[in-house]
Amino acid sequence: MAILDVPNWVRILLLITSAISFIPQLLRTISRKNSTGISSFYVLFNLISTTEQFALTFFFIVNYPKDSDFFVHNPKNAGDWINFAQMSVIVVLWLTYVKVAIGTYITFLLVSVIPVFSDAAFASRGPDRRMEMDIFFGVHSQFLSWIITSFNVVAVYFQLKETRLRPQERALSGLGLAVQAVIFTVVAFSWVGRIKFPYPDGEIPWTFLSTWYQLVGWATVNNGIFALGQAILLWIIAGHRLDEQVYGETEPLLRA
């Protein structure tokens, strides 16, 4: 069960607003006719993170060869499919930014999306399939998920570095950053109530958090880090633009 069941209309609203939150940045990039000032690593690491979340969600929705005690309901309900749509839409929107580091991203696809797609298309339903999928989830939940969560932090670092090197480019949309910081904060908290998980009764021990993160918590953590990162980037570019405004107003006085 979830701590607080999120109604389907809220999930749909978050899906729509999440998609809309990408529009200001897309329009800014189109109007500038280039992506100079946007770090390729920022795009790549965020795309890898969202792809991993999509792959794990696809695994639970399509590949999981037994009744699940977590993430999806038994039988799967409309909310589970809306969750899957949320992950799918965000991956597609991040793909619109990808023009570099294609080789690295394709390599990651070989260990994330390709295995679950191949299993869904060609695999048998015998015991070997169950073992293969258990191995897939074990590798991703116990090892890759931790690394990929760190990518969300590293992505912000590279974009901060790029923004400080090229402040004159004004590559990032302040409106887009603000909207995404708010929307994805709500999305992050909503995941606690969107997915099935056997929470213990009473107080939850700290040692339980590692298990929670590995099985379902990555959705909350990764979206939360992304939201925080967008807020930090907004604060930085707002500071740069305020400095430019102050300098522009004082420069004539200095010359006088």
Q: pLDDT tens for residues 8-19?
A: 999 999 999 999
Q: Which residue has the tokens 């977590």?
A: 70
Instruction: State percent of the chain over pLDDT 70.
Output: 86
Whether 227 contacts 188, CB under 8 Å: yes
Report DSSP state, residue 22.
T
- Section 222-249 average pLDDT: 78
Residue 196 pLDDT exceeds 70: yes
Residue with tokens 């797609």: 117
Where along the chain do its domains lie?
Answer: 8-255
- Number of Cβ within 10 Å of residue 125's Cβ equals 8
Look up the pTM and report it.
0.85
**What's the rounded Cα separation, in Å, for the pair 113 and 106?**
10
The least confident of 25-39, 194-208, 212-226 is 194-208
Least trusted range by pLDDT, from 25-39, 46-60, 191-205: 191-205
71 beta partners: 196
Least confident of 37-51, 60-74, 105-119, 124-138: 124-138
**Dihedral class, residue 202 (left if φ above 0, else alpha if ψ from -120 to 50, else beta):** left
In angstroms, rounded to a whole number, what is the distance separating the alpha carbons of residues 193 and 246?
A: 45
Is-contact 44 101, C-beta < 8 A? yes
Q: Which amino acid is at 144?
A: L
Backbone angles phi, psi at 103, to 5 degrees: -60, -45
Is the pLDDT reported for residue 125 higher than 70?
A: no
Question: What is d(CA 62, CA 120) in angstroms, rounded to the nearest whole number?
Answer: 7
Q: Over 60: is that where the pLDDT of 241 sits?
A: no
CA distances from 204 to 71, 94, 199, 212 (A): 18, 35, 8, 10
Residue 254 is given by DSSP the state H
Find the length of the chain: 256
